[in-house]
Structures are given as C-alpha cells and as structure tokens.
Structure 1
C-alpha cells in the first residue's frame, strides 16, 4: 500500500486553501480503496465569527464540509489510480451527489477525520463510491453512495 503526503495531494487535486480538505493519505489501493485524514482546526473559516459564548456543540464541523472532504478523498483515489494506469482523467471534476448518508456523530476542533472510501465502479466519466468517516475509534458518518463526475468545459450559447 502507498501513502501520500500533502504535497502529493496538491499535485492530484485542483483544490487549494481553504477548500482543500484532505491532509494525508494513510493507505491507497489503486482502483479500490483509500484511507485519508483531515485535521479539524479552530482556525478554519467555518468557525470565523462564532461567538465565544456558544456551547461546544456549536463547534461541530459542518456536515457539508465533512461530506466534501470525503468526496475529495474519493477524487484522490480516482485520479491517482487513473494516472497510474496512464489514463489521466481530463476535464472538470464535479461532486455529483451523496445518497444514503447517515451522520451518527460529530467532529470538533482538535479532532482528526479518517475517511475510508471504496470505489464501487467507474462507468465512463462517472465514479461511484461509498465509505465511512471516523474520529478515533468512533464512526461518525456512513456514505452509502457518492457520485463524482468529470465533464468537459461548459458549453456556451454564442448564437
């Protein structure tokens, strides 16, 4: 199994701060499975402007960012796997959908998300994935179906 550091991830994904939500790849089985981490910190933009008198629960990492981080982990798996086969994915990567999402816990500043993503299948420019997100030994999310797609540039109507 291969590991990838943050610099490697930046070469794979087009995302940059503050929307690059994968810090490290702990394990990758090309074409099959990836395990990534994302450290949640109190200095993230989602916490800017929160009143200091709010309860701890107000600092739960937003579910939308958790799902996006999971999706980016799947994108690393897909793009890295395709590059290894000398079949680079061309076009704009788009998060298509997430279904059968069950949130059973939360993450707060100081926690480290661990995403485990598996590719179910790739059909043309569409990747279907599923997996789980953990904080320590507690599973906080299950994603039953995530769709990522690659599309060429947007068509324009110049007529």
Structure 2
C-alpha cells in the first residue's frame, strides 16, 4: 500500500509546518510501515537550527517517525476521526548522523506489540542506507475533545 500526501492528510490532523511525512511507501497492516520525508532547505526550523550549518532537529526526526506510526495504527486498526493520537513515550533514542537539507529521510517502523490500545514501535530512520536515528516509540488514542 502506497499513500501520497493527500491521503496522509486525510488520516493525520498535522499540517504545515508540522506535517513531517510526505509519502507512505509500504504498509503491511499489523507488521510494519515505511514512510518518507523529503528534507528541504525551506523547512522553517533551519532558520534557527543552525544558521550557516542547517541540521534537522533530532526531536523532529522522532516526531516524523511518530507520525508514520500514527498512520500505521489508524489504518491497521481502522481508527476513526473521532480519536486523537497521543505520543506517550520514547525510549532508547539514538542520533547517529545529522540529517541535512536535500536528504530523503526514510522511516521504518515495526510494531512490537499493541495491548489495551498502547502501540509500541521499533523505529529507525535512514538517509540512503545510513542509519541516522533510532528509537522505541509508544502511542495511544483517546476520544477527541472538540469543545
């Protein structure tokens, strides 16, 4: 299953400048997902991180992986628009190499388990074949409170 940006925007509530997934390249419901972020010099965070030496902040790489995981859970378990995603944990995060403008960030997440609505993923991010970031991520869903 491949999803373009328009299909991703139907699933995730995030929008520019915080939507950090451009495409879902592979989805095996209940098993794994692969998503892509094209990193451009026009990203707003590069203005301050760092002037003259732009590097994508590690927390945003983690957020991009979490968004890919959200797509996985929404599709795998048919979670509707009446729910909101809560990112509830990050463990074992490691930042191996910087992500720079012009890089294509490929995020691969595999489901470790899902118990009582708590999704646990092993996430890895690559530029080409180089591992740049890895982390264990946890997320859950709750009723949307649109009051």
User: Do they superpose with TM above 0.5?
Assistant: yes
Count residues in correspondence: 146
1:102 & 1:51 partners in 2: Cα distance?
20
Match of 2:129 among 132, 137, 144: 137
Match of 2:59 among 42, 60, 64: 64
TM-score (norm 2): 0.91
1:146 & 1:51 partners in 2: Cα distance?
26
TM-score (norm 1): 0.84
131 and 88 in structure 1: CA distance in 2 versus 1, 3 angstrom threshold: same
Partner of 1:101: 93
CA-CA distance at 1:106 after TM superposition = 1.3
Partner of 1:157: none
Partner of 2:47: 48
Match of 2:137 among 125, 146, 151: 146
Partner of 1:78: 73
7 and 148 in structure 1: CA distance in 2 versus 1, 3 angstrom threshold: same
Gaps of 5+ in 2: none
SS at match of 2:13: coil
Structure 1 runs of 4+ with >4 Å offset = 49-52
CA-CA distance at 1:60 after TM superposition = 1.1
CA-CA distance at 1:29 after TM superposition = 0.2
